[in-house]
Structure 1
Amino acid sequence: MAGREQQIPTNRRLHVLHVSVPTSGGVATVATSYVRDQVERGWNVTVACPSRGDLGYSAREAGARVRWWRADAHESTLPGAVLRLKRIVNETGPDVVHLHGGRAGLVGRLVVRDRVPTVFQPHAWSFLAARSGIQGASLRWERYAARWTTELVCVSTTERQLGESLAIHAPTVVIPNGIDLAEYRPAGARDRVHARKLLGLEDVPTVVCVGALTVQKGQQDLLADWPSVRARVPEAQLVLVGDGPDRRALERLADEMEGVVFVGARTDVPLWLAAADVVAVPSRWEGMALVPLEAMACARSVVATDVNGIVDSVPTDAGAVVALDDPAGLSDALVHRLVDPELADEEGWQGRSHVETHHDVATSTRELARVYLRLVGARRGR
């Protein structure tokens, strides 16, 4: 909800343009939370994004204007995306442009060039996902484009530190991702049994992994060592919630394995988290993943990999953070919690306390609003 700590320094409402190519997953969820808050503040909010996925429709439902923007690399050339976004910017005349993710950050900064306050939020640096042949080019671009970044919003301290260590220099603020604590409620042992019954799952030791089925989210690493988990916990089941380009390959990998269930993309994620004894987050890179926060909010123990963003968000008493490319460490941590449910439950409640203190969406949206007001006030005061 709108805070009273600052007022918009003008007689008209602040107009914010959010630009994003991702329209589902964590980036879209975070962007939608900002849109909802800003509409509630009485601001004018426009979202420019592709028409696929959830973002545009959720933004429209929240009360924002939506401009469909064809910008995917596989469906639009860079010059075409630039021309289309330039038209949107000129027609909407925003006071602040907020660019979400690498593709929007590339196109948006080429268009705006800091002529109006420009907020860039990587949601994980683009060069982390780039193939080796273009990784260097992606890094060089981020260094260059920093001159057109009025404020860089990092979702974790480690994301900020990585950028600084690689000579990406722009005014920067860290705003950790937040989640809706009313939507993701703590679930006890009875809730776990009830959730499994509703979802048609066996009532056995259960690992849940939520995320797009892509290289980034690391399900292939989790599956590679799942037989080791099953050897020590023979009844254990692994539930993969999500869909994506790697689904067929992952299903082939799991074809000869026992206890692996693919359930596709779901809108009832809190229920699947409630069904878990432990939530696995085997990501290979992140900005700050939402799934560990959602799992902790549901009072579930988390076993995750030691990558940027996760180390900032999962405290040691809420689960385990294991080294990337350490399959034995990952499986050991999962087994330890499957055979000791009291430990897992205690970690889950510690995680809930941590999220309540550090990752409430109301806090993150309020901090972002303060950034906008500061930038717009400084620009108008020139």
Structure 2
Amino acid sequence: MVSVSDTAGGAEAHTVALGQGMRQRGHDVVLYGRCPGWDEQGLTRREIGLGPKWSRRTMATGLLRVPLERHRTQVIPESSIYYLQFKREQIALTAPLARRAPVVWTEHGRWLGGPTGRLLLAGYARAAEHVARVVCVSEAVAADLEPVVGRDKLVVVPNAIDTERYVDPPAAARASLRERLLPARFQDRRVAVLAARLHVGKRHERAIAAARASGSALLVVGDGPDRERLERLAGGSPDVHFTGYRQDVADLLAASDFYLYCGAETDGTPTCVLEAAACGLPIVAFRGDPGTELVQGCGGLLIDDPAELTAEKAGSLLELRGGGVAYVEQCHSRRNWLDAYERVFGECLA
């Protein structure tokens, strides 16, 4: 794997889960670069001096670094498969690596719009000439890429979660989690939760407004560049509690009553929805957001505007608890997901 990121998010969690799962199945896995959570799992990693992940802020200097970074791939030893996940690695490093072994990409989200998206698309199309397979997390993501990559290279493998970690606990265990983890003022309240990286593109202010409209308390789990703005919008309300980054997300989900999902326009298959549903939570999502098709399987409610989530509707959600557990286990389990990746890698080697 060749990947550099210093921010914990869904793609990074995907990288760690894939590396860990492949190792448990007997494959040798080495990461060249950096990824939050990788070292904590005891996985093998080597630093090769790649610059920061490409973003609007780092793009200009990142493009200037491409010749140097291509040169640095020479220290990566021969491998059966090279796996790349972010645009910099895909666009800049695929061609030199593909001369030595098949290259596989994963695409997590819808294609970027605007000038940045158009600029990346040209380089992406050239790099795709050298890729063996592109794994897409949804059919919508695959549809975006088909005109550029060609359908023969695209494979859809929906995101998955660890269904042994994210579970709907018995009532007594859930009551204990609520007492231990929730603020005292939330103990006898209906509690909504969101657990995600706090980024302005996800428009999490809608979750705050929806919780208020329904008279529910809101637990905001996670951190990110939009936290300060969201805290200002909450205005110090005792009904909204920001936890910051937490490692006990599964327990916090299980202690809550329903999940409020807000997605950015580039999201693919949101793992936060799968995790919440596996913990028994009904999902409230906004029409037009990517990934809202999951609500049909996970159980919940689609709304157009936060004000639609009345106290009566929020109360009726509690009757849907546990409705998505079987769906997640059947369609988004880690076991099936790893099986699919092994098939993809095997096809590339055949």
- Using structure 2 for the length normalisation, give the TM-score: 0.87
Of all paired residues, the percent bearing the same amino acid is 24
**1:232-256 deviation digits (Å, cap 9, x = unpaired):** x2xx211110111111111111116
Match of 2:229 among 245, 249, 253: 249
Using a 3 Å threshold, how does the CA distance of structure 1 residues 141 and 84 change in structure 2: closer, same or farther?
closer
Using a 3 Å threshold, how does the CA distance of structure 1 residues 104 and 267 change in structure 2: closer, same or farther?
same
Match of 1:116 among 98, 101, 110: 101
Match of 2:138 among 118, 142, 156: 156
Distance in 2 separating the partners of 1:226 and 1:178 = 28
SS at match of 1:48: strand
Match of 2:157 among 163, 175, 182: 175
Q: Is the 8 A contact 2:257 2:318 kept in 1?
A: no
Structure 1 stretch 252-261 or stretch 73-82: which is displaced more? 73-82
Structure 1 stretch 183-192 or stretch 297-306: which is displaced more? 183-192
Match of 1:222 among 207, 216, 219: 207
Match of 1:295 in 2: 276
The answer to whether residue 346 in structure 2 is matched with residue 368 in structure 1 is no
Distance in 1 separating the partners of 2:228 and 2:236 = 14
Aligned residues: 340
Distance in 1 separating the partners of 2:134 and 2:288 = 20
The answer to whether residue 59 in structure 2 is matched with residue 78 in structure 1 is no
Using a 3 Å threshold, how does the CA distance of structure 1 residues 299 and 365 change in structure 2: closer, same or farther?
same
Q: 5+ residue gaps in structure 1?
A: 1-16, 378-382
1:1-382 residue pairs with structure 2 within 5 A? 17-21=1-5, 23-50=7-34, 54-58=36-40, 61-62=42-43, 64-67=44-47, 69-73=50-54, 77-80=62-65, 83-84=68-69, 86-109=71-94, 111-112=96-97, 115-128=100-113, 132-164=114-146, 166-169=147-150, 171-201=153-183, 202-203=186-187, 204-229=189-214, 233=215, 236-255=216-235, 257-285=237-265, 286-306=267-287, 310-316=291-297, 318-322=299-303, 326-328=304-306, 331-333=307-309, 335-340=311-316, 342-345=318-321, 349-377=322-350
SS at match of 1:350: coil
Using a 3 Å threshold, how does the CA distance of structure 1 residues 226 and 181 change in structure 2: closer, same or farther?
closer
**1:345-366 deviation digits (Å, cap 9, x = unpaired):** 2xxx221000110011011111
Q: Is the 8 A contact 2:108 2:136 kept in 1?
A: yes
Distance in 2 separating the partners of 1:299 and 1:183 = 13
Q: Is the 8 A contact 2:298 2:325 kept in 1?
A: no
Using a 3 Å threshold, how does the CA distance of structure 1 residues 183 and 42 change in structure 2: closer, same or farther?
same
**1:260-289 deviation digits (Å, cap 9, x = unpaired):** 111100000011101211011111231111
Q: Is the 8 A contact 1:151 1:172 kept in 2?
A: yes
Q: Is the 8 A contact 2:160 2:337 kept in 1?
A: yes
Q: Is the 8 A contact 2:286 2:302 kept in 1?
A: yes
